Structure 1
Amino acid sequence: MQIPLKELQFYKNFDELARDILDMAKEFMPDRLIYLTTFTDKHQVIIKLSETSREIHIIEGMVIEITETVCNRIDFDNNRPLIFEDMSKETKLDDLRKALIGANINSYLGVPILLSNGKAFGTLCAVHTDANEFSTKSIKMLQNIAKLFAYYLNLERLAYRDSLTGLYNRQFLHKYFEDSPAGGGVLFFLDLDGFKKVNDLYGHDTGDLVLREVALRLDQFVQQHQGFAVRLGGDEFIINMIDLSDKDEISQYAESLLARLSSWDTQLEALQLSVSIGIELYPPHASNLLDTLLKNADNALYRAKANGKNGYQFFS
């Protein structure tokens, strides 16, 4: 799982540290423009620049199709930097030639920033308008700076992620409602039906595998919609979706979740493993209402289980 941009805003001193990272890199490459990027599934986002350049046409917040970026050519699997000392002579960059000319970049060093889970966060890059050589020392130094930044990202990530599943944890959910939404939305409170039997019959290792699989399916669900998934603990999960209030549409999402979590392999199928869902809508500016929302959603979840499980109920 990657780090979404909405998560970065909760990291302590992120802007300050990003600035320090760029200043440190600038000490070793004073004539280069240095910048930090992050990736989404389809885009590269320029997070921070060492300075504003009139010559190089890159700005903070710029969003670029990932297939149209040089950084997409970096070997993240083997954690290797990408170096072009004279891009005008690189025939393998012909498909990016127009974009490079538009940005006025002719030499490039891109270093991968990798998280502890092996996922690519983004890149630390140094560029210039002219063809330029990169010394072995400067390349190594940029790699070391990228490692320091990745170490910080991993520490912050641990504070907001569930260690077993990689989903967000309760702390992130509270932080989100304290700091973020002005708009309304909906909470889905999910609890697995029959999970205790999995642990009793097959052991906790199998139970952990089930929880990871549930987390994967929930993460795939929220990637397709506007929201995020949380593991509260045990076999309890939350999905938060914003700007959603139509009950018919919410019911369709609930049906989709039921379908996603009711199909298992033959071993688990015999246990009739499924999910029950309690649903609570919340109004705009609900920053101080999370405990009440969770209580109401849990109440609706209790009624869903009382009605035969593998279903959903709205709180009312």
Structure 2
Amino acid sequence: MNSVDQEFRLYQNFDELAEDVLDLAKEILPDKLIYLTSFSASKQLVLRVSEEREDIAISEGMDIPLENSVCHRINFNKMQPLVYPDVEVHTESLPLRNLLLDVNIKSYLGLPIAKLNGERFGTLCVVDSQASEYDDHTIELLQRIVRMFSYYLELERRAYRDPLTDLYNRHYLMRFFETEKLTTGSLFFLDLDGFKKVNDTFGHDRGDEVLKEVGNRLRHFVMNQSQTFAVRLGGDEFIVHLSGKLAEEAIDQLANELLQSMSEWKQDEQLSTSVGIVLYDASEPILLTELLRQADQALYKAKAAGKNRYYCC
């Protein structure tokens, strides 16, 4: 599961709104196949399809490598739709033409969907097995539907994101443990060593800048790990959640990578990070409150041992 999929699965009423988006689009273009997609760093996932059609090989749940995706060619910087009224005539390259014809798409309209912060979400796509014209009025109506969906995404983002660092918040972590079918995983509980002194010496504005930078570094860390996300619990406390069973060597490598990423600061700030790690297994009841308590105890032991290190309980 990519991070985008993981996030929208926890959104309130996402399925219902996705169906509404497709229903509204079908009111405008009743004879077309319409589908909603999301992007990860490497793939495009078909989230919802207006209907299954035998003549077009697009189905709900299919994923496509991003480099092979036609939607990847949409201009998200200018938020402009990509239109091919006749794929055999209007596509600019043979590989692109073959990508569409291989699934029997003869006409294509793709509209970019972005969150209000500019982050790409995915696309609303309209396709047919015959060449079709898409007039400006039709495209404008579809763009209005897309904007409505983007506003919904922003409301949900604010519910699950920390406003300072843009990491996930405690509410997201709680909802994840309430709704996901968990098997095995781990929590890495991070706390900044020396952060109070930074606030007291350089002021809260500099403290906020440090927290934002921690957010940036944690985002970079989780991008390189599968099924991983980062949370700001509050203050200078952060969680990295990793799904799956970790060997002792993997724990050591990941913990040291985290410590290294948090070790470089301005010399007079004297900042470092301590990490408490707790592992869980679905063979026993999984309670987030208990996991956080155990992770906090492990963090305390890391600090008591000299800080700038990790302890795995």
Map 1:1-316 onto structure 2 (within 5 A). Answer: 4-226=4-226, 227-264=228-265, 268-284=266-282, 288-315=286-313
Instruction: Work out the CA distance in 1 between the residues paired with 2:133 and 2:139.
Output: 10
Corresponding letter in the other structure for 1:52: E
8 Å CA contact retained: 1:87, 1:107: yes
Corresponding letter in the other structure for 2:222: V
TM normalised by structure 2 equals 0.95
- 1:256-277 deviation line (CA, Å, top 9, x unaligned): 111000012xxx2222211001
Structure 1 segments of 4+ aligned residues over 6 angstroms from their partners: none
8 Å CA contact retained: 1:190, 1:238: yes
Name stretches of at least 5 consecutive residues in structure 2 with no aligned partner.
none
- 1:162-209 deviation line (CA, Å, top 9, x unaligned): 111111111111111111143111111100011122222222222212
- 1:69-115 deviation line (CA, Å, top 9, x unaligned): 21111111111111111111135132222221111112111111110
Instruction: Give the secondary structure class of the aligned counterpart of 1:103.
Output: coil
- 1:267-310 deviation line (CA, Å, top 9, x unaligned): x2222211001111112166641111101111111111111110
Q: CA deviation at 1:244?
A: 2.3
- Root-mean-square deviation (CA, aligned residues, Å) is 1.5
Instruction: Work out the CA distance in 1 between the residues paired with 2:91 and 2:69.
Output: 15
Corresponding letter in the other structure for 1:313: Y
Instruction: Work out the CA distance in 2 between the residues paired with 1:162 and 1:310.
Output: 25
8 Å CA contact retained: 2:184, 2:243: yes
Corresponding letter in the other structure for 2:276: G
Instruction: Work out the CA distance in 2 between the residues paired with 1:258 and 1:177.
Output: 26
8 Å CA contact retained: 1:87, 1:93: no
Instruction: Work out the CA distance in 2 between the residues paired with 1:6 and 1:91.
Output: 34
Q: CA deviation at 1:245?
A: 3.5
